[in-house]
Amino acid sequence: MIIKQFVVGPLEVNCWIAGDETTREAIVIDPGDEPDRILDWIKQKGLKVKYLVCTHGHFDHVGALPELKNFFTEAEILLHKDELPVYERAGDMGRLWGFSLEKLPNPDRFVEDGDEIKISGICAKVIHTPGHSPGGICLLNDGILFSGDTLFAGSIGRSDLPGGDYNILINSLKKLSGLSDSITVHAGHGPSSTIGQEKSSNPFMSGI
């Protein structure tokens, strides 16, 4: 499986690309900024993007969607239904932080907990993990968890933004704590980790 990380934008969001080496089909997760960098690499590798997946709708994770959707017109934008109000207000939130976003394209399809996002060679299970935002999701595929802003190496996403709730976020972490310790965690910000490492050293997960 192809796994590529781009750290994009002033808030250093991790945009992840997962693809199949044989068919070249791919998923782009959280394209937050710098669409030209992302597109150049995808073109260089000859990938066919099937899905543009938003782990949540905050402006720093969705800013490159207009350009990518314009280029990959057949790619579907996927979002949890509970995240739509956050997604629709991403531009307003961005302006509060001093950023300007293009108008975001409408999501093509909503996903729910337990859904599977499938391309050739990849089947990613959707795990609904609210708390950082109402419709936050993680994606689990073949020993890898793309955790968005739910879980970071040594920390968690903030819960004081509109739609956030600390107690709900802790319940989402309890759900993730049931996963195998060996699973690699690719977060929305910062370095990667494992579930086992976070259970033993992350103060928000230890003891759950």
- Indicate whether 207 belongs to any domain: no
DSSP string spanning 63-82? TTHHHHHHHSTTPEEEEEGG
Q: Determine, yes or no, domain membership for 206.
A: no
Say what the pLDDT of residue 100 is. 86
Give the chain's residues under pLDDT 50: none
Domain count, the chain: 1
**pTM score of the predicted model:** 0.95
CATH number of 28's domain: 3.60.15.10
42-68 per-position pLDDT tens digit: 999 999 999 999 999 999 999 999 999
Whether residue 121 is contained in a domain is answered as: yes
3-class secondary structure, 10: coil
Averaged confidence pLDDT in the chain: 96
Residue ranges of alpha helices (H) inside the chain are 35-45, 59-62, 65-71, 84-88, 90-96, 166-177, 195-201
**pLDDT given for residue 121 in this prediction:** 85
Residue ranges making up the domain that contains 45: 2-201
Q: Is residue 167 part of a domain?
A: yes
- Determine the pLDDT at residue 96: 86
* pLDDT given for residue 130 in this prediction: 98
The answer to whether residue 208 is domain-embedded is no
Would you call 126 exposed, middle or buried from its count of C-beta atoms within 10 A (0-12, 13-18, 19+)?
buried
| Residue 124, domain member (yes or no) | yes
